[in-house]
Every structure is written in C-alpha cells, then in structure tokens.
C-alpha cells in the first residue's frame, strides 16, 4: 500500500493495518492486532518524520505467514537516515515528548531490522510479531533483536 509521506498518511496506514488484521481473524482488541498496529504506527511515523523526501510517498506491506507470524514493512526513499539495528537508541528523558518509537518496536516485536530498498534509493524497516505471543512482546530467551 502506498501513502503520502504526511502525518495524515501515517494515520491512514495505521487504521488500514488494524482493519486488515481484523479481516484476517485478529480482532481489534486482541494483543496481535494492538501490537502490530502500534508497531505500524511507529514505523510509519518514523518514515514521515525521518524518511520523508519531498514528492515521495512511503509504502507499507503487511503479511501473515502460515505459522502465524505477522510482518509489517515500511519503505521510504531516504537512504542516509537509517536506524542502526543491534544498537540501542538513546533513551529519552521523562519530559521529552518524542524518541521512543524504535524502543517500542524493539520491545514489542519478536524481531526487526532495516534492509536496503530492493529497487531505487531508500530502505525498508520491518518488524515481525508472532500472533500467539503474549502482549508484552518478545521471547525472553532470544539473543539480540536481529
């Protein structure tokens, strides 16, 4: 799905993710729907705020595998602004209003990463959630997040 790289585009993407998950059998109030929708909201907000290139849209892809893994991918055309997987982002102070997006993604997703855009400039930030996992997110036994 393609969206304008604006706050309105990010809001629309978040709503469509929630509706699609509901259609796929993950009702709105389930942990899977709420978790993936929140991750999509954070990734699309980052694409708008940090990945915006004037005149370029961002793309969102949502898939579910046969084992129940839900994957959200957000692609933008900004190459030089890439989150660094494997490194912790700076934790914002209590009075800061921004800077928690990737911390939330890291806490909620089973795994996430950044890959180069397959065609043209840019990157894809993706995250996976097991539909059956508990609402707090990832497995405590996994090493790292990538």
What tens digit of pLDDT does each residue of 11-51 get? Answer: 999 999 999 999 999 999 999 999 999 999 999 998 888 76
Tally of domains in the chain:
1
CA pair distance 131, 41, nearest whole angstrom = 17
pLDDT at 97: 56
SS3 48: helix
pLDDT at 9: 92
Q: From residue 48, how far is each of 3, 9, 118, 126, 140 by CA, in Å?
A: 10, 8, 20, 15, 31
| 138 and 107 Cβ atoms separated by less than 8 Å | yes
| Listed ranges 31-35, 54-58, 111-115; the one with the highest mean pLDDT | 31-35
Q: For residue 73, is it within any domain?
A: yes
Higher pLDDT among residues 91 and 73, named by residue: 73
Higher pLDDT among residues 98 and 137, named by residue: 98
The mean pLDDT of the chain is: 81
Put the strands of the sheet holding 2-3 in their side by side order: 2-3, 58-64, 69-76, 123-130, 111-116
CA pair distance 76, 61, nearest whole angstrom = 12
DSSP designation for 10: H
Q: 19 is in which domain, residue-wise?
A: 2-87+98-130
Across residues 124-135, what is the average pLDDT? 81
The CATH number of residue 41's host domain is 3.30.565.10
Higher pLDDT among residues 137 and 93, named by residue: 93
| 137 and 55 Cβ atoms separated by less than 8 Å | no
What pTM was estimated for this model as a whole? 0.79
Q: For residue 123, is it within any domain?
A: yes
Q: For residue 141, is it within any domain?
A: no
Question: pLDDT band at residue 60, thresholds of 50, 70 and 90?
Answer: very high
């Amino acid at each position: 799905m393609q969206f304008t790289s604006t706050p309105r585009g990010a809001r629309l993407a978040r709503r469509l993710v929630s509706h699609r998950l509901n259609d796929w059998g993950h009702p709105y109030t389930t942990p899977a729907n709420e978790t993936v929708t929140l991750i999509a909201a954070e990734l699309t907000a980052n694409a708008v705020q940090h990945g915006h290139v004037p005149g370029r849209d961002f793309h969102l892809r949502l898939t579910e595998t046969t084992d129940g893994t839900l994957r959200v991918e957000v692609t933008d055309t900004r190459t030089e602004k890439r989150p660094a997987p494997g490194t912790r982002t700076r934790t914002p102070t209590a009075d800061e209003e921004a800077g928690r997006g990737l911390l939330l993604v890291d806490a909620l997703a089973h795994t996430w990463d950044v890959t180069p855009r397959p065609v043209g400039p840019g990157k894809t930030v993706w995250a996976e959630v097991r539909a059956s996992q508990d609402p707090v997110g990832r497995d405590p036994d996994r090493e790292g997040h990538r």
